Amino acid sequence: MPVGNSDRGVGLGAGEIMLFSDLSYQKFDWWHAEIPDAYQPGTNLAEEFEHEGLFINKSINLGLTIGLSDYWNVTLSQILIDRCMEWEGPVWASEDVGFNSDIHNVGDSKTVHHRSECASTDFIDMNGNVNAFGGYLGDTKINFKYLLLNQGKGPGSRMFIGAGLTIPKKYTLTDSPWSTTIYDHDNNPNTPNIETFSPHRHFYLSDGAYKISTEIQFFKKRIKKPVFWGGTFSLTAPINKSDYGYKPSTRYELSLMALSGPIKNIETNILMLSSIGLNFTAAYTSPSEWDNKRTPNSEAVMYIPGISFLFTTNNSEIGTFGLNFQRGYEKYMQNSERDIEETNKIYSISISYRKLLDKYIDKLYWK
């Protein structure tokens, strides 16, 4: 069961049905340098401070795989997401220079870029327009997989080629977080208006763009340890811009994993530890664009090592579970004058589940 992708490494025969899910909790401990030409909201004071906080991502990905034939599988998956920002930078106090009780609340963020909030609610900008649509429903994915090699049981190789489509949802941004506008930033008609950033949100549930993906999977089951090993190389690329001018990054990803095999004498009345695994993912995201302009800090390389524990149940009808721990490292490519220094510590825990049903789709099943 590859980490975080419980449908990988499995090829179904004609008419077979598999249910799977991935429940994930991720914490991003982030920091970036101060942003030039940014002002504290409602004042003529430059920010002149660094930004930091915690970004929490909780999600559950639900999926269904069907064997269309002994060579073709189709997978449909839907993700539900709860994303929240915890701002740990400066906030307003009543004694602060520039504090105005008519427009500021004690505890509010001193930047227009970040605040403590969640993606479940709309973000309304200063003109009353929706800057980000809130919700919980993420993108839908459909993937077709061709089974070049498929040793269903026992030792042998499994090699699959896949292609898919990501269908976006409406819960996206309607304007670039990096756009600037000329406005009365300090609510003072006696001071000149300036061009600067207006209040906005950086995170969202969907890119708002359709994407195509392709992948190749190779896994091998053996008698000797590691009893199961392999990897996946995938590419995901946008085929259009969002309705609001955003073109997402293209993502290249290589994931490798290996499982130890049965662990003796580690079991309960319900679960048995069947394997301990190591995994590693390396990914590259190309620069994204807003209105044909490169988005700052969008080009990055990620390295994600992890360890996993695979459990089977004494009642085989229940299914298979995986418990996964990962620590991510992200390096932003400083290839533009608009890029700023940024660090990101990523921690992840996930629970994966899959169950091959006893039922068959008779019209597809070849007896």
Give residue 45's pLDDT: 87
pTM of the model: 0.90
Structural domains of the chain ordered from first start: 16-360 (2.40.160.40)
* Biggest alpha carbon–alpha carbon distance for the chain: 84
Give the whole-angstrom CA distance, residue 309 versus residue 263: 10
Give the rounded percent of residues in the chain with a pLDDT score beyond 70: 93
At residue 228, the pLDDT reads 85
Q: What is the pLDDT of residue 267?
A: 64
Query: What is the per-residue pLDDT across 262-310, written as a single tens digit (0 to 9) for each?
Result: 777 666 677 788 889 999 999 999 999 999 999 888 999 999 999 999 9
The whole-number pLDDT of residue 2 equals: 45
Of 71, 66, 235, the residue nearest 146 (C-alpha): 71
Percent helix, strand and coil across the chain, each rounded to 5?
0, 55, 45
pLDDT score, position 1: 46
Number of CB atoms found within 10 A of residue 327's CB: 13
SS (H, E, C) 132-195: ECCCCEEEEEEEEEEEEEECCCCCEEEEEEEEEEEECCCCCECCCCCCEEEECCCCCCCCCCEE
Count of other CB atoms within 10 angstroms of residue 139: 20
Tell me the per-residue pLDDT of 165-198, one tens digit each, with 9 for 90 and over: 999 999 999 999 988 877 666 667 777 777 788 8
Proportion of the chain above pLDDT 90, given as a percent: 62
Q: What does the pLDDT average to over 2-18?
A: 80
Q: Is the pLDDT of residue 109 over 90?
A: yes
- How confident is the model at residue 10, as a pLDDT? 87
Q: How confident is the model at residue 4 (pLDDT cuts 50, 70, 90)?
A: low
**Residue 55's pLDDT band (boundaries 50, 70, 90)?**
very high
Letter for the amino acid at 208?
A: G
Residue 319 has pLDDT above 80, yes or no: yes
